[in-house]
A and B are shown apart, each in its own frame.
Chain A
Amino acid sequence: MLELAIGIILGCCALGAGTAMIAGIGPGIGEGNAVAKACEAIGRQPESRGSVTTTMLMGCAVAETTGLYALVIAILLIFVAPGYLVNILMRTIG
């Protein structure tokens, strides 16, 4: 029974981590769209290349943070959460 409970904890943590990483797809799509539009803008006004690059770099870095949040949640769910949850289980059983 205890093994089953630990297995459920580990499985749920892994499922949660995998689900969290879905958020890693969004920034890629967003950055892709931003760069595509920047290419279009630079094509129209080549003299604005410097300012467009700066703004886009900052925008891409901000967009990427969303993926990092998901990454941190996933890492915590894989490496930290199982230990805490199993400890709580053990203390509850006694």
Chain B
Amino acid sequence: MACLSFEYGKQVVIILKNVDATVKRETLYIAAAVGVMSMLMQAIFMIVRHWDYTVLLGNVLSAAAAVGNFFLMGITVQKALNKDEKQASASMKLSQQLRLLMMLIVAALGAALECFNIIAVIIPLFFPRIAIALRPLLDGRKGK
């Protein structure tokens, strides 16, 4: 069992070492944007006087899941680009279903356990989408 987990760990390290620079850059951008938006959300909860530790825990769980989901998608895309079209399409479909299942488990945990605030779990799942929507604005500012 220990040998198996060691082999698995070794494979994970190899995958992490071979991550494409584009995937790293985009994941960093998404992580930074999710961090900033999480802080904003915490501030809003404090302003409306609904903040407690469950909000923080829910936010941390959900933000980690959102960034992890994006990173896993990046790794899948990077691997899929080296395959032929049919294999790439199939592996992407499988990956999407598995990642959706992962998000379902995270959201279900957030909803079922008392130590997580359900609103603070659900909102950060959409932060990467907001970050992508804001991207053209940031790129435009850099271009100027």
A residues apposed to B, CB below 8 Å:
24, 27-29, 31-36, 38-40, 42, 49-50, 53-54, 56-58, 60-62, 64-65, 67-68, 71-72, 74-76, 78-80
Contacts and interface: CB of A to CB of B under 8 A. Distances in A.
Nearest to B84: A39
Contact of A24 (B20, B23, B100, B118): B100
B120 interface: no
Interface residues of B, number: 40
Interface of B: 20, 22-23, 26, 30, 69-70, 73-74, 77-78, 80-81, 83-86, 88-90, 92-93, 96-97, 99-100, 103-104, 107-108, 111-112, 118, 122, 125-126, 128-129, 132, 135
A34 B73 CA distance: 13
Contacts of B126: 65, 68
DSSP majority for the B interface?
helix
Given A75-B104, A79-B108, A79-B118, A35 B70 contact: no
Task: Kindly name the residue among B20, B78, B85 whose own CB sees the greatest number of chain A CB atoms within 10 A.
Answer: B85
B38 to A, nearest CB: 17
A35 to B, nearest CB: 4
A53 B22 contact: yes
Contacts of A56: 77
A70 B112 CA distance: 18
Contacts of B100: 24, 27-28, 64, 67, 71
A49 B100 CA distance: 27
Given A53-B22, A60-B73, A35 B78 contact: no
Contacts of A78: 108, 111
13 contacts: A28-B100, A31-B92, A32-B92, A35-B77, A36-B86, A39-B80, A50-B22, A60-B73, A60-B92, A64-B96, A67-B96, A71-B125, A79-B108
